[in-house]
Amino acid sequence: MRAAALLPVLLLAAQAAMAQQTQEVAGALKQNWFDDPFFQVSTGLAACTTPEGPFYTAEERRTQTHSRLERGTSCWLAGKCTDSNAYRYDKPLAPKVRAALLAVPGVRSGSVWVMIQRRWVYLQGCVPTPALARRLERAARAVPDVETVVPDLMTGTRGKPPYPVYPVAGR
């Protein structure tokens, strides 16, 4: 009977452990400490360099905590947010941004990732044409509560990406 009662608790603990996104770079464990939305919407250009995403070491987390508190609250103090923390918009925005981007004709021909932090949408990855990059940017900007869109998309898969990449050597 006792084992049966523990099973749901163990399952929840296992789910939480799997849900915590982690990566190891140069021996340092990086995690998505702030649980920022980070997802891929298309995989059409397989050679596209994968973005690093919102992964930080414990030390990077400590240095970011203060600035994130300040930036999240400044939105509310400036009257731009109804919530006292701009980062609380991010999780509800993620499915809306995903749907808006998936509705863009041609999106599946690129490899596009999205990271959302404090109502800012970062579009990262590779697209076959500059026109597709502009359409994706417009679609993300049109989502209510999106404050800014950062279009870190490159045309094709050659060259240095305009975004931090995974894995980052030497960090």
Pairing of strands 148-155, 120-127: parallel
Report pTM. Answer: 0.81
- At 67 the pLDDT is 83
Residues 124-145 have pLDDT tens digits of 999 999 999 999 999 999 999 9
Say which residues have a Cβ less than 8 Å from residue 113's Cβ, sequence separation at least 6: 38, 39, 40, 41, 50, 51, 53, 123, 124, 125
Residue 166: DSSP 8-state: S
Distance CA 113, CA 26 (A): 23
Residues 87-110 have pLDDT tens digits of 999 999 999 999 999 999 999 999
Q: Could you state, in order of their start, the residue ranges of all structural domains in the chain?
A: 21-155
Tracing tokens 């400490």 back to the chain, one arrives at 33
